[in-house]
């Protein structure tokens, strides 16, 4: 399949991660390859009486090298995660500080599925307990979903477009895809793109559990996230952020940057079916996968690895598997390794698609695929699930799926960059 047109190419030159399995990209990747879980009992609040008491918390987090005390105090945790991840992504790209960059060609697209859930809860408690005079005058800023992009623009002189996107659990992939479009269409040369979420609150945990979406393996937290396993019983709520430094290929080459991968294709669709359940036909997921491959100028048989959305919910896993069969065909699918990062991180919600894109980039760089943890009894025997430790791999095309509540579907095609 030929490229649809000659266009500006988008490459990845840096990655940053804050996650339940590590607060740097290197720690995140080491944990994934080792199959280590970041899921455990929730410790940040009293979970007594809640039906679900486990989650993927970020621990050992240190913002001090990236934020001033005042900036940290006036930010929700999801913003702090995003800024630390973005700072690492810039450092990884050799752009911290971004010297020599045209500020008006520099952009930021940092999304979130749920925004400042913790800060909203805290300020509500202040209002009820101490009265309106004690509510922070920065409430409207620190609880805004665009606060990470805004704060990053101030810190790094980003004079081009800056914004937030929100597409539930597909947010991180949508942010990367839309950021790539800014570069393709000549509106930016450099974009920080990714997602962040920290909605692991008592209210969100209770509500999502009541929706029957969460695993209730309270006595076995590390075994709770089980994508594609017959014994799965829901996803595990988690927190964190992931940000990629995206550049126009020529811009990266001229400054001598190390290019990690190319964002070759992107597509997004909507099921238009139900507030939480995916369309049982999988039609929207199929269209998104086919659209991303067409955007990349790639045929289904070119796909060498699948980074599945893989939440560990019964409906999502079955529908994703069926959609993959339709797009790739049973024969090629049976020979294409499938991984599912959420089996270790839990579901980082609006950050998950970006974190999985980072994992895909590192898989292309290091020629290894992280395993799916806890998939002891695979329900889909025709899928080549990577279940017995990390696997060596020599492919050059990764299909990365992200789906979300509200019927959001977003797919990225990440490839090895060949110049």
* pLDDT above 50: residue 3: no
CA–CA separation, 417 and 396 (whole Å): 9
Q: Is the pLDDT of residue 114 over 50?
A: yes
Q: Average pLDDT, stretch 194-199?
A: 97
- Burial of 256 per CB tally in 10 Å (0-12, 13-18, 19+): exposed
Question: Residue 134 pLDDT > 60, yes or no?
Answer: yes
DSSP code per residue over 272-334: -S-SSSPPTT-HHHHHHHHHHHHHHT--GGG--EEE----S-HHHHHHHHHHHHHHH-HHHHH
pLDDT in tens, 34-89: 999 999 999 999 999 999 999 999 999 999 999 999 999 999 999 999 999 999 99
Burial 379-402 (b: 16+ CB within 10 A, else e): bbeebebbbeebbebebbbbbbbb
**Range 116-121 average pLDDT:** 90
As a dihedral over the C-alpha atoms of residue 340, residue 344, residue 346, residue 350, rounded to 10 degrees, the angle is -60
The pLDDT assigned to 1 comes to 42
Would the pLDDT of 92 be above 70?
yes
Dihedral of the CA atoms 114, 172, 98, 116 (nearest 10)? 0
Tell me the two tokens of residue 379. Answer: 């329900």
* 375 is an active site residue: no
Kindly state the average pLDDT of the residues 319-328: 98
The CATH number corresponding to 266-415 among 3.40.47.10, 3.40.50.300, 1.10.10.10, 1.20.1260.10 equals 3.40.47.10
Q: What is the pLDDT of residue 276?
A: 83
The active-site residue out of 15, 66, 169, 375 is: 169
Gap between the Cα atoms of 348 and 255, Å rounded: 33
In percent, the amount of the chain with pLDDT more than 90 equals 95
**Whether the domain at 10-255 and the domain at 266-415 fall into the same CATH topology:** yes
Band of residue 322 on the pLDDT scale cut at 50, 70, 90: very high
Measured between its terminal Cα atoms, the distance across the chain in Å is 18
pLDDT of residue 2: 45
pLDDT, residue 277, reads: 87
Tell me how crowded residue 134 is: count the other CB atoms within 10 A of its CB.
10
The domain spans of the chain are 10-255, 266-415
Average predicted confidence (pLDDT) for the chain: 96
Q: What is the pLDDT of residues 187-196, one digit of tens each?
A: 999 999 999 9
- Residues facing 245 on adjacent strands: 14, 192
Q: Which CATH number fits domain 10-255: 3.30.1330.30, 3.30.70.100, 3.40.47.10, 3.40.50.2300?
A: 3.40.47.10
User: Residue 213: is its pLDDT beyond 80?
Assistant: yes
Angle 314-328/283-296 helices, nearest 10 degrees?
Answer: 50
pLDDT of 369: 98
The arithmetic mean of pLDDT across residues 230-234, rounded, is 98
Contact 184, 10 (CB under 8 A): yes
pLDDT (0 to 100) of residue 5: 56
Confidence of residue 184 (pLDDT cuts 50, 70, 90): very high
Contact 238, 38 (CB under 8 A): yes
pLDDT digits (tens, 9 = 90+) for 245-277: 999 999 999 999 999 999 999 999 999 999 888
What is the tens place of the pLDDT at every residue in 346-393?
999 999 999 999 999 999 999 999 999 999 999 999 999 999 999 999
Strand, helix or coil for residue 28 = helix
- Is 4 a residue whose pLDDT tops 70? no
């Amino acid at each position: 399949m030929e490229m649809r047109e000659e266009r500006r190419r988008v490459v990845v030159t840096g990655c940053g991660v804050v996650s339940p399995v590590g607060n740097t990209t290197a720690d995140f990747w080491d944990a994934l390859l080792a199959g280590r879980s970041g899921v455990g009992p929730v410790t940040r609040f009293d979970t007594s009486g809640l039906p679900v008491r486990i989650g993927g918390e970020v621990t050992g987090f240190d913002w001090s090298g990236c934020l001033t005390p005042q900036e940290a105090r006036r930010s929700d945790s999801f913003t702090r995660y995003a800024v630390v991840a973005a700072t690492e992504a810039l450092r990884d790209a050799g752009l911290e500080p971004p010297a020599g960059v045209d500020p008006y060609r520099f952009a930021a697209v940092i999304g979130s599925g749920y925004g400042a859930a913790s800060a909203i809860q805290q300020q509500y408690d202040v209002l009820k307990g101490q009265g309106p005079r004690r509510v922070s005058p920065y409430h409207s800023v620190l609880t805004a979903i665009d606060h990470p992009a805004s704060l990053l623009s101030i810190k790094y002189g980003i004079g081009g477009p800056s914004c937030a996107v929100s597409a539930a659990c597909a947010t991180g992939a949508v942010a990367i895809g839309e950021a790539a479009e800014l570069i393709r269409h000549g509106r930016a040369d450099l974009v920080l793109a990714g997602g962040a979420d920290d909605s692991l609150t008592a209210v969100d945990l209770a509500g999502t559990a009541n929706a029957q979406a969460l695993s209730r393996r309270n006595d076995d937290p590390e075994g709770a996230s089980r994508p594609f396993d017959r014994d799965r019983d829901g996803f595990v709520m988690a927190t964190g952020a992931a940000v990629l430094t995206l550049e126009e290929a020529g811009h990266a080459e001229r400054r001598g940057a190390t290019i990690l991968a190319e964002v070759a294709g992107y597509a997004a669709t909507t099921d238009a079916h139900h507030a939480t359940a995916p369309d049982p036909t999988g039609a929207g997921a199929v269209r998104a996968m086919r659209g991303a491959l067409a955007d990349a100028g790639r045929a289904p048989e070119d796909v060498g690895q699948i980074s599945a959305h893989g939440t560990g919910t019964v409906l999502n896993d079955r529908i994703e598997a069926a959609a993959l069969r339709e797009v790739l065909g049973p024969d090629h699918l049976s020979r294409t390794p499938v991984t599912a990062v959420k089996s270790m991180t839990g579901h980082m919600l609006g950050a998950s698609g970006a974190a999985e894109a980072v994992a895909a980039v590192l898989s292309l760089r290091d020629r290894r695929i992280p395993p799916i943890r806890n998939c002891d009894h695979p329900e889909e025997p025709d899928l080549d699930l990577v279940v017995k430790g990390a696997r060596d791999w020599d492919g050059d095309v990764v299909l990365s799926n992200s789906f979300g509540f509200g019927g959001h579907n977003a797919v990225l095609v990440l490839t090895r960059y060949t110049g």
